[in-house]
C-alpha cells in the first residue's frame, strides 16, 4: 500500500515507518524537523529510514496547504502523527498548537477529502480524558473537560474528524496514545529526562511528590496497534481507540525500575503538581483488542532496560545538551 506518514522524523512516526517498510509498503514520510526538541535527534531518526527501499522523505510543514494537498492525493492511507506535542509546553506556546494541531489537521482533512483517500488514521491522546476520575478510561467516557490546550486540540481533532467522515464519507480512525516510551524516544518526556539527569549525577524533578501513575506503553506495542488501525478491514466510518498498556505504573515504581537498569541511586527533587497535568492515566483497551487485534505485551521491566540500552548507545543528544 501507499502510506503517507506525517511526523516521520518523530518518535512514533519513525518507528511506524520502519515497520511499514519492513512489511513491504511504500511510505512517504513528512516532517518539518522543528526545534521543539533536538533537531539532530530527528535527523538521526530520519537517517535510519532514508536507505530503506520504498521510503521517500519530504521536509515540509502541515500548515503549507498546497504541498499537503499534492502529497496526500492518491495515497491509500494517511497516518497523521505530526503535531505539537507536550502538555507543559502548551502553557507557554499556545499558538504552536493552534498551527500544527488545528490548522495542520484541517489541511490533512481537506487533503484527504479532495485527494480521495479512503482512510485517515490520526494521533489523539490520553490527555483528552483530562481529570476524569473513573478509571480505567474507556472510549465511551465523556471527554469534555480537557485541562490543557494540548488536550483541547486533540479533542478538537476527534470532532473535526467526525465531521469530515460524516460529510465526505472517508474513514477516520483516532488513536488515543498513552505515555509512549522506548528507544529513539522523546527528550521532553520523563523517562529521557530522568535518565539524563541520573547519568549526570543530578536530582530528578518528581511532580506531585511522586503521587502519579501512568499507563506507560512500549513503542513496539503502539506500532502494532497503529498498524491494526491502518489495515483492519470492516472498521466503521469514524472510530476512536485507546492504545495503552492497560497496566498503570506508579511513578516511583518507574523510577525504581530505571534506577535498577542504570545501576544508579536516584536523587529526588519532590515538586508540586504541574498545571495542566493529570495525576493518573489508565487505559481500558478492550475495544482495540476486540476490533484491532491489539495486545500490549511489554511491561516496564523489559521496556525500560531496552530504552536505557539504546540511550547509552546514542550520544549526540548529550553533546548538544538538548
Ligand atoms: N509519545 C507519546 O507519549 C504520545 C502520547 C499521546 C499522543 N501522542 C501524539 O502522537 C503523535 C506522535 O508523537 P511523538 O511522541 O512521536 O512526537 P514527536 O514530537 O516525536 O513527533 C512529531 C513530529 O511531528 C513533526 N511536526 C510537528 N509539527 C509539524 C508540522 N506543522 N508540520 C510537519 N511536521 C511537524 C515534528 O518535527 C516531529 O518530528 C503526536 O500527535 C502526539 O501528540 C504521543
Find the mean pLDDT for residues 49-74: 98
For residues 151 and 85, give the distance between their C-alpha atoms in angstroms, rounded to a whole number: 10
Percentage, residues of the chain above pLDDT 90:
95
Task: Supply the residues annotated as catalytic.
Answer: 150
Tell which residue, 27, 30, 34, has the closest CA to residue 1: 27
Q: Residue 101 falls within a domain, yes or no? A: yes
More confident: 161 or 276: 161
Find the mean pLDDT for residues 63-77: 98
For residues 16 and 313, give the distance between their C-alpha atoms in angstroms, rounded to a whole number: 21
What pLDDT digit, counting tens, does each position of 172-201 carry? 999 999 999 999 999 999 999 999 999 999
Tell which residue, 103, 236, 203, 94, has the closest CA to residue 157: 103
Q: Residue 322 falls within a domain, yes or no? A: no
Percentage, residues of the chain above pLDDT 70:
98
CATH number at residue 65: 3.40.50.720
**What's the chain's average pLDDT?**
96
Q: Which residue's alpha carbon is at the smallest distance from atom 26 of ligand 1?
A: 82
Find the mean pLDDT for residues 138-149: 96
For residues 161 and 247, give the distance between their C-alpha atoms in angstroms, rounded to a whole number: 29
Find the mean pLDDT for residues 13-39: 98
CA of 114 to the centre of ligand 1 (A): 24
Instruction: State how many domains the chain has.
Output: 1
Q: Structure pTM?
A: 0.97
Tell which residue, 7, 8, 107, has the closest CA to residue 54: 8
Residues with CB under 6 A from ligand 1: 6-7, 9-13, 31-34, 42, 61-63, 81-85, 100, 104, 123, 125, 177, 179-180, 186
Q: Which residue's alpha carbon is at the smallest distance from atom 21 of ligand 1?
A: 10
Find the mean pLDDT for residues 122-149: 96
Find the mean pLDDT for residues 48-64: 98
* Nearest atom in ligand 1 to 12's CA: 16
Q: Residue 253 falls within a domain, yes or no? A: no
In this prediction, residue 321 carries a pLDDT of 47
In this prediction, residue 317 carries a pLDDT of 53
Find the mean pLDDT for residues 307-318: 82
CB–CB of 175/124 below 8 Å? yes
Find the mean pLDDT for residues 283-305: 98
82, 122, 125, 219: which to mutate for ligand 1, most atoms within 8 A of CB? 82
* pLDDT at residue 319 tops 80: no
CA of 264 to the centre of ligand 1 (A): 31
Q: Which segments of the chain does DSSP mark as H helices, in order?
A: 11-22, 39-49, 65-72, 89-92, 94-97, 104-114, 149-168, 190-199, 219-231, 251-262, 286-292, 300-313, 316-319
CA of 301 to the centre of ligand 1 (A): 26
In this prediction, residue 320 carries a pLDDT of 46
* pLDDT at residue 73 tops 80: yes
For residues 223 and 195, give the distance between their C-alpha atoms in angstroms, rounded to a whole number: 23
For residues 33 and 39, give the distance between their C-alpha atoms in angstroms, rounded to a whole number: 6
Q: Residue 114 falls within a domain, yes or no? A: yes
In this prediction, residue 88 carries a pLDDT of 86
In three-state secondary structure terms, 119 is strand
Q: Which residue's alpha carbon is at the smallest distance from atom 44 of ligand 1?
A: 177
DSSP 171-190: EEEEEEE--EESTT--TTSH
Find the mean pLDDT for residues 27-44: 97
Q: Residue 302 falls within a domain, yes or no? A: no
Q: Residue 40 falls within a domain, yes or no? A: yes
Q: Residue 275 falls within a domain, yes or no? A: no
CA of 167 to the centre of ligand 1 (A): 27
Q: Residue 188 falls within a domain, yes or no? A: no
* Nearest atom in ligand 1 to 31's CA: 34
**Domain containing residue 96:** 2-180+216-246+281-297
Q: Which residue's alpha carbon is at the smallest distance from atom 9 of ligand 1?
A: 123
What pLDDT digit, counting tens, does each position of 78-106 carry? 999 999 999 889 999 999 999 999 999 99
CA of 7 to the centre of ligand 1 (A): 6
Find the mean pLDDT for residues 292-312: 97
How far is residue 193 CA from its own chain's centroid? 17
Amino acid at each position: 500500500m501507499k502510506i503517507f506518514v506525517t511526523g516521520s522524523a518523530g518518535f512514533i512516526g519513525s518507528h511506524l515507518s520502519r515497520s511499514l517498510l519492513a512489511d513491504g509498503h511504500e511510505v512517504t514520510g513528512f516532517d518539518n524537523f522543528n526545534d521543539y526538541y533536538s533537531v539532530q535527534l530527528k535527523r538521526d531518526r530520519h537517517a535510519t529510514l532514508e536507505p530503506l527501499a520504498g521510503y521517500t522523505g519530504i521536509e515540509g510543514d502541515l500548515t503549507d496547504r498546497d504541498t499537503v494537498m499534492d502529497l496526500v492525493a492518491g495515497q491509500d492511507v494517511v497516518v497523521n502523527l505530526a503535531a505539537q506535542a507536550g502538555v507543559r509546553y502548551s502553557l507557554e506556546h499556545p499558538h504552536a498548537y493552534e498551527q500544527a494541531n488545528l490548522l495542520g489537521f484541517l489541511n490533512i482533512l481537506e487533503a484527504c477529502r479532495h485527494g480521495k483517500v479512503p482512510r485517515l488514521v490520526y494521533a489523539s491522546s490520553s490527555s483528552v480524558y483530562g481529570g476524569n476520575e473513573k478509571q480505567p478510561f474507556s472510549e465511551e467516557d465523556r471527554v469534555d473537560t480537557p485541562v490543557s490546550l494540548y488536550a483541547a486540540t486533540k479533542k478538537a481533532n476527534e470532532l473535526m474528524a467526525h465531521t469530515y467522515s460524516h460529510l465526505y464519507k472517508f474513514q477516520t480512525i483516532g488513536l488515543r496514545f498513552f505515555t509512549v516510551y522506548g528507544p529513539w524516544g522523546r527528550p521532553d518526556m520523563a523517562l529521557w529526562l530522568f535518565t539524563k539527569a541520573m547519568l549526570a549525577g543530578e536530582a530528578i524533578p518528581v511532580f506531585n511528590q511522586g503521587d502519579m501513575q501512568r499507563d506507560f506503553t512500549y513503542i513496539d506495542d503502539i506500532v502494532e496497534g497503529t498498524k491494526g488501525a491502518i489495515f483492519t478491514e470492516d472498521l466503521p466510518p469514524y472510530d476512536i481507540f485507546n492504545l495503552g498498556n492497560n497496566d498503570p505504573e506508579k511513578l516511583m515504581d518507574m523510577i525504581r525500575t530505571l534506577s535498577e537498569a542504570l545501576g544508579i541511586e536516584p536523587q529526588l527533587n519532590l515538586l508540586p503538581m504541574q498545571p495542566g497535568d493529570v495525576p493518573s492515566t489508565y487505559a481500558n483497551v478492550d475495544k482495540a483488542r476486540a476490533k484491532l487485534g491489539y495486545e500490549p505485551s511489554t511491561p516496564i521491566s523489559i521496556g525500560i532496560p531496552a530504552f536505557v540500552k539504546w540511550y547509552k548507545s546514542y550520544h549526540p543528544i548529550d553533546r548538544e545538551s538538548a
